[in-house]
Amino acid sequence: GGGSPAMRSHHAIPRLTEVRIGTYIFEDMTGVRGGYFSLDRCAATLLCTVVSAPTPDRIILDGGSKTLTTEGGPPFGHVVELSEARIYKLNEEHAYVDVSACPIKPRIGDRVHVIPNHVCVAVNLHNQAYGVRGDWVGVVWPVAARGLVQ
């Protein structure tokens, strides 16, 4: 059996002896929107930088579809520091973010954390993951199986 959304009901299936619940280790926005996880339990974020602010209501981040993945459609993740922001468009290298509802507008150079829609795909798009506590990087893990699907 498998799938994190069904993780709380696996015990009710008598012959089920093994489960695959990949998203559960980090949790993500698909699970939050589905009611399976809470936002404060999401452990994986992608660190992005504001690289442009072309209008007062829009910023551009340096993480696009090659960072966040297009899975789940808009909004393409959740900006932790800007809960009112909405990532409405991605190209390969950039995220377009509507900040019109944000009381404080981010500036070029500001760094933000984005919880991806589907963390499994986002992890697979990167060569390594960092284990962080506060501002301290405690461990760097290689994403060993990246690109090995055949």
pLDDT (0 to 100) of residue 130? 94
65-80 pLDDT, tens digit per residue, is 999 999 989 999 999 9
Q: Residue 17 pLDDT > 90, yes or no?
A: no
Using a pLDDT cut of 90, give the percent of the chain over it.
65
What is the pLDDT confidence band of residue 20, given thresholds at 50, 70 and 90? confident
pLDDT (0 to 100) of residue 23? 79
pLDDT (0 to 100) of residue 39? 93
Are 86 and 29 in contact by the 8 Å Cβ rule? The answer is no
22-52 pLDDT, tens digit per residue, is 777 899 999 899 888 899 999 999 999 999 9
Are 123 and 44 in contact by the 8 Å Cβ rule? The answer is yes
For 15-145, list the strands marked E by DSSP.
46-55, 58-61, 78-79, 86-90, 95-98, 111-115, 128-133, 136-142
This model's pTM is above 0.85: yes
What is the pLDDT confidence band of residue 128, given thresholds at 50, 70 and 90? very high
| Residue 140, both tokens | 């760097």
